[in-house]
Structure 1
Amino acid sequence: MSWVGRLAELGVELPPVAAPLAAYVPAARTGTLVFTSGQLPFVAGTLAATGKVGSDVSPEEAKAHARTCALNGLAAIHDLVGLDSVVRVVKLVGFVASAEGFTGQPAVVNGASELIGEIFGDAGKHARSAVGVSELPLGAPVEVELVVEIGE
């Protein structure tokens, strides 16, 4: 089954590619790798939430927003090379705008990692970083980047 077919089986639709906020592209290819720019939790062109995780945004809400970020990253990949060209997901990096003392970044970023696993199975097993930061663009609570390998 294709990855696009797997999305349909899961009842998941890729959103339109989020427009860049500055001077960059949503995804770039070099050789057999595609790197996405940091993806925010945009839904229908609107930022789904703002604030810091652990005070303004609950960890559970942030986990759902991380999933949205990953979907936006997959949309950027699909727009550039087609999702079915993905051989495997290599790396996922999640940034979490964290309230002072919040240390649950790995659980938040699981929202993105779990989605990747649901779609890609073994091909979705990836290296990962989950980083707490003081601020993210537009006040977003989470941001996710993906690196995937594609077939030649």
Structure 2
Amino acid sequence: MRLADLKHCGWRSLQPQEVKIMRQAKHWQDPASAVIGAWLIVSPWVLGFQGEVVAMVNAVVIGVALVAVALGAVLVPHAWEEWTEFALGLWLIASPWLLGFASLREAGPSAVIAGTVAAAFALWILWTDKDFSGRWRKWLPH
């Protein structure tokens, strides 16, 4: 069906600014966070801690969540997605101690580094995007 045929069905004509064939990512940090999530998913096997169940499950579950939220932020950006990425990053930073795998030479640093970068990317977006920072930035001194 052509666009002209839709007009006869009662649909109004779409204006050029309303038609978006391809959407460019609003923030480069979101695809980068998805890559961090993908790293977390494969890191137990790459770094060799797949036998440590708690560390492995933590990396895979948080990695899947980070990929999902980051890709959601690429497709339809919202501030809550960045806050979720920030919270996932904080969890990754704290999880080696909270879950008891901080002494694992491979798993602990991987989680802390990935969490630090993911949290930093999320805060960067929340701080610099005027669409997201308006509500909370007004409380800061000018």
**Superposed pair shares fold, TM > 0.5:** no
Which structure carries more strand by proportion? 1
Q: TM-score, normalised by structure 2?
A: 0.32
Larger radius of gyration: 2
Q: Which structure is higher in RCO with an 8 Å CA cutoff and minimum separation 6? A: 1
Q: TM-score, normalised by structure 1?
A: 0.31
Which structure carries more helix by proportion? 2
